[in-house]
Every structure is written in structure tokens, then in C-alpha cells.
Chain A
């Protein structure tokens, strides 16, 4: 069965042009970029090129790019660096809807005596800038807020947040793993100090990430050892994946208009038609500014895992914010923070598109999902009275 892959916020297909770019760096050009000989030197040149390509996508300078192993490492490194740089500051600000890569790190720090403020979001998943301004004080080492939410696609006003934070003298980090390549970023005209991205969310392979660190930002490395990445991240470079990351960023730059045009149109059509065909639905984050590729739709009186399994039978790959699929027993922390009503918190499905998504694939979801929901609702003991009124 050919997959209809609409789970691109989980991971993406490696673009074949990206794969071709990295392919020679395993068996042929396997040199170590730190070596003195020509054989390592030619790899060094490609790593430098990759660094420039990533920088170009972000509107950054090449020496502000630190290659890491994943988005999680970038997030961890940014927060750990900040608390080492400011040992006297004992407060961190983040939000309730962050990715676990940030949230777990912050919550663990509370055990070491740190105060952590988790900002609330409203029912559309939006931050309150006044709450942010009130939360940051002279004791705050770092504020870490995601650029865009992985579950709902809600985009935070990160530039505005960064300005508020900088005025108060704290460092500002953003987890931009979901945003990079989907919406334009320009670090040259930004107040962000550090920004995380991940290769496999933008058609590069798994196992490579980037931490952008603005020039002049005090930084302490997370991994120590060799002098790689100008001493900011020790460990022999994952050359093939770094080169792939550079190519993926170059392609993301080229395809940016497609994301905000064709992909957004597909998402909007999916949203419009599903809402029209399935009664009692609600778009999570529907009232907020959202990524062009993400649709989180909550359906009352059904449970997400059943929906995903039945979609999967039709070859459709999506994801859910429900408890049962994750091994946790509660709906996702994001949906809970947004106060999604309990009648539909367990029935939220996320479709996340990419530049490879086609019209026909969206048609397939529009055709297959409504009967699946009807079937599960017919089986459910809830909502009969309510749904029969439709």
C-alpha cells in the first residue's frame, strides 16, 4: 500500500536531492574535516558550504551556526548554557505547550532549586505578552519559547517576545524546529539570542540539528572535548548529515513560497471540507496565526487511536493528541493547556503536510475520514442525543 504521508511534523521524507548531496561522504569522501591533509580538507570545504547554506536560510552569519545531533540537543544546550553563564540567576521562563525537549529540561531544573514559570496559553493556544513581561525579572537567566507549536501549528509572536525579554536583560531562546523552512526567518533583524532547528523536520535525515547562537551571546558548550564547531560543540562532525542539512536548507529557501502558497491552500481545503462533512468538530488553534502545513482537528465523542488505526488501514498516516497513542493516559499537555473541552480532547487528529503533499492525497483524506468518524461515533455510548440533532 502506498502511504499517504500527512505526519510531517513528526518527521519528513529525505528529499532525494539532499540524499544525493550526502551520498559521497560515507564511502568515498569519508575524511575528517579537522585533518591536515587534502582528503579531510575537501570535506571541511563542504561543511563550510553547508554552514553558509543554513545561515542563508536563517538570515544569519555562518559563524553563528553550531551543528548538533538533533533538535533536542540544541534545546538542551541552549538552556544549560544560559544557566552556566548566569550562575547567580535562578529563574527560567517557558510555556506550558513547549516540546518535551524544553519542558522536561526545565522541570528537572526545579529539582536543582530553579524557579520555572510556565506561561499559560488561551483557548486558541496564544501567549499573553503581558504575562510574559510580568514573568521576567532580574533573576531570569533564560526565556525559552517555541516559534511554532508542533501539535497545533500555532505560531507565537516570537520577535515581540524576544524584544520584551531582551529589555529585561535575560537571554532568549526559541525552539524553531517546526517553523524553519515553513515561514521566513531573518536573524539579522531579530532579537533572538539562540534558535534550535532539526534536520529531519525539513527533508534532511534524522540525527542532525543546529543551534543558532548570535554573535556576542555568552555560551558554554554542552559537549566538551575537541575544538569542533569553534569549541561550542565537541565531537567529530557528522559530515554527511551536516552536508545534507545544508542542502535541505537551500531547498527550503527555494520552496518557501510553495509552503505559504500551495501547501497552505491544500491545508485550508482539507480543513474547510472536513469541517463541512463532519459534524461537531473544532479546529485546535483555529483562531490563531498558524503554520501553513498543520491542521489539528478535534472531533467530539470519538477517541484518536481508533481514528488513526482506521486511517492507517487506508494508507493514511496522521497523528493524534490523544492519550492512547502515546502511552500516556491523558490528552496531550498542549491540548490540556488550551483547555480543549473534554468531549473532544481525546479525539484530536493532526494532519501535517509538506511540499510533497498532493491534491489527490488531500482528496483521499476528505473521502475516507468522514465515514471513519461516523463508524466510531455509531459505536460510542456518548453523544447520541446530541449528534442526532444534526
Chain B
């Protein structure tokens, strides 16, 4: 049984704003019967057509899909369209006190429907959304990566980036991509590498002379985006304990803790930091 929070259960059992708005200004529909979940979102705007005064939904899907839809409608009411567009899937999940990771795709579906509704209302690049087709989620632009659920590289990269996803399994949990036949998993791994590569480039453009503050920030970024994901892949992890000038203290966690080759791991961390932050960095392993 899923470990749903009380808030998820409460929103599932007593969903807010179920139904349709006949004279809605904006409607966004994602998902399909075949996919196993779908959401149709209706938005009603004020007279100036700026602020959302009412939101309703119809959802076909599991408990967390219904709870996410309910949460979404509560969150966007009273917001301007621009404010609403800033709602992230993580915020939908947070509103519910969190979702099991396998169910994060429900929050992504909510955000997608919201974006789609607003884009269609504004007539921006009306994303192609063919819900007669067996599979939904087909947005304008990009190439289909996951054929089972009709998901494009553009969409997947966006979700990977905004949720800082590091493994193909996480991408499946957040988008369902790769969750059926599994044929696109290698392609998903490529997309993750691509996104990480782009972030790496951004990190590499380091200023010539680092202030202490900037150096500490960079060290943290590199550990988060470059080092920890690689350790996670082997079931390990590390924690940054302290930074003193060029001296970086880390403690190894999970599989890395007590691992015979943690000395090599420390070297690897040092190498990464020297390469991406500053050549004088020394990494020290501490027990803490």
C-alpha cells in the first residue's frame, strides 16, 4: 500500500473543485484513458482577464492524481496567470505534504495541464494535444522519446532539469517515461547526461578570481550536481562537513561509508573540485 500523507488522503476523499466550468476561459487537458491517468483543467478569469477567479477539474486516475488535481485548483485560485505559471510540480507535491516518488508524475500532470491551459488561452504556440489519440502528453516541439506514453525529449529534459533528476528510474516516477515497455530507458539516460552536461558547462564558466563566498557556492554546486549523483549510482553518498579556505572536509555515507576504496573516492572528489572550482583544493575525509 502506498504511504500517502493524510493530506493526500484527505484531498482524495474530499476533492475540492471537481467538475467543469461551462464558460471557462482556459481549458487544458492532458493524459488519456490508455495512459491510465488524465486531467482536464478549467480556469475562469476575472473581467480584466488577468486573475484566476475559479478553477475546476475532472480527473481519471489514481488517488494521488485526484489529490494533485484538487491541490492544483486550490493553489491557482486567486493567482494571476503569470503567477500561476510559476507553480512547479514540486510545489503541488509539497502542498500535499509530499507524494511517494513513484507518484510524482501525478504532480507533473497537474503542472502540465496548467501550462497547457494558459498557453492555449494566450494562443502561444498552441501545443498540439491530440486526445483522440491513445496517448496524450504530446506537446509542440521535440521528438517523441517514450512511445508508450507519447513523451518528447523537450518535455523530459524540462522535468529532469526542474526536478534535478539523476536516474532513469526517477524520470519514470516523475513522467512515466520508460515505465511500460522500457525501450526508451537508454535514451532517457542520454537525456539526463545531456542535462547534466549543460549544467556542468554552466558551472565551468568560472570567474578568474573567486571570492571566498563564490568558491564555497561553487564547491557546493559541484558536489550536488557532479559528485553525489555519481556516488548515488553505486549506492553511496557524501556530506559536506566544512570548508576552510581550500580545505574541503567531507564525510562518506551509505555504501561509501567504511568502503575500502573511500580513499580513491576522496581523490575523485578532489579531482572534480580542482577541475571545476579551483586547482588548490584539498579534500579531506572526516568521520562524522
Contacts and interface: CB of A to CB of B under 8 A. Distances in A.
Interface of A: 301-306, 309-310, 313, 322-325, 327-331, 342-343, 346, 378-382
A321 to B, nearest CB: 12
B102 interface: yes
A381 B66 contact: no
A309 B63 contact: yes
Interface in B7-51: 9, 12-13, 15, 18, 29, 33-34, 36-40
A301 B134 contact: no
Contacts of A309: 9, 12, 63
B63 A380 contact: no
Contact of A329 (B9, B13, B59, B180): B180
Interface in B45-80: 58-63, 65-66
Nearest to A327: B102
Contacts of B40: 381
B236 interface: no
B36 A322 contact: yes
A329 B63 contact: no
B62 A381 contact: no
B18 A303 contact: no
Contact of B36 (A301, A303, A378, A379): A303
Given A301-B33, A327-B102, A331-B36, A381 B58 contact: yes
A16 B33 CA distance: 44
B89 interface: no
Contacts of B61: 303, 305-306, 324
Nearest to B100: A327
A302 B60 CA distance: 6
Given A305-B63, A306-B66, A379-B59, A313 B179 contact: no
Contacts of B148: 330
Given A306-B12, A306-B66, A381-B29, A329 B60 contact: no
Interface residues of B, number: 29
Nearest to B12: A309
Residue from B58, B59, B63, B102 having most chain A Cβ neighbours under 10 A: B63
A219 to B, nearest CB: 35
B266 to A, nearest CB: 36
Given A324-B62, A381-B58, A346 B36 contact: yes
B15 A303 contact: no
Contacts of B66: 306, 379
Contacts of A324: 36-37, 61-63, 65
B166 interface: no
Given A303-B61, A305-B63, A328-B179, A379 B33 contact: no
A325 B12 CA distance: 15
Given A324-B63, A329-B36, 12 more contacts: A304-B62, A310-B13, A313-B13, A330-B179, A343-B33, A379-B15, A379-B59, A379-B60, A379-B66, A381-B38, A381-B40, A382-B38
B176 interface: yes
B134 A342 contact: yes
Given A343-B33, A346-B36, A381-B40, A305 B62 contact: yes
Interface in B62-109: 62-63, 65-66, 102
B111 interface: no
Contacts of A310: 13
A303 B179 contact: no
8 contacts: A306-B62, A324-B65, A329-B36, A329-B180, A330-B180, A342-B33, A346-B33, A381-B58
B172 interface: yes
B12 A380 contact: no
Contact of B179 (A329, A380, A382): A329
A304 B62 CA distance: 7
A274 to B, nearest CB: 20
Nearest to A331: B36
Contacts of B172: 329
A303 B60 contact: yes
Contacts of A379: 15, 18, 58-60, 66
Contacts of A301: 33, 60
Nearest to B69: A379
A342 B135 CA distance: 11
Contacts of B65: 303, 324
- A-B interface, 4 closest residue pairs, ranked by CB to CB distance from nearest: A329-B179, A324-B62, A305-B62, A381-B58
Nearest to B13: A313
Given A313-B13, A329-B172, A342-B134, A380 B36 contact: no
A323 B36 contact: yes
A223 B31 CA distance: 48
B188 to A, nearest CB: 14
B117 to A, nearest CB: 13
Given A329-B36, A329-B172, A380 B62 contact: no
A87 to B, nearest CB: 31
Most buried by B among A303, A310, A327, A328: A303
A355 B61 CA distance: 34
A310 B66 CA distance: 12
Nearest to B20: A381
Contacts of A378: 18
Contacts of B29: 381
B251 to A, nearest CB: 33
A305 B179 CA distance: 17
A382 B15 CA distance: 18
A301 B40 CA distance: 14
A346 B44 CA distance: 31
Contacts of A305: 61-63
Contacts of A303: 36-37, 60-62, 65
A343 to B, nearest CB: 6
Given A303-B37, A342-B134, A380 B102 contact: no
Contacts of B58: 379-381
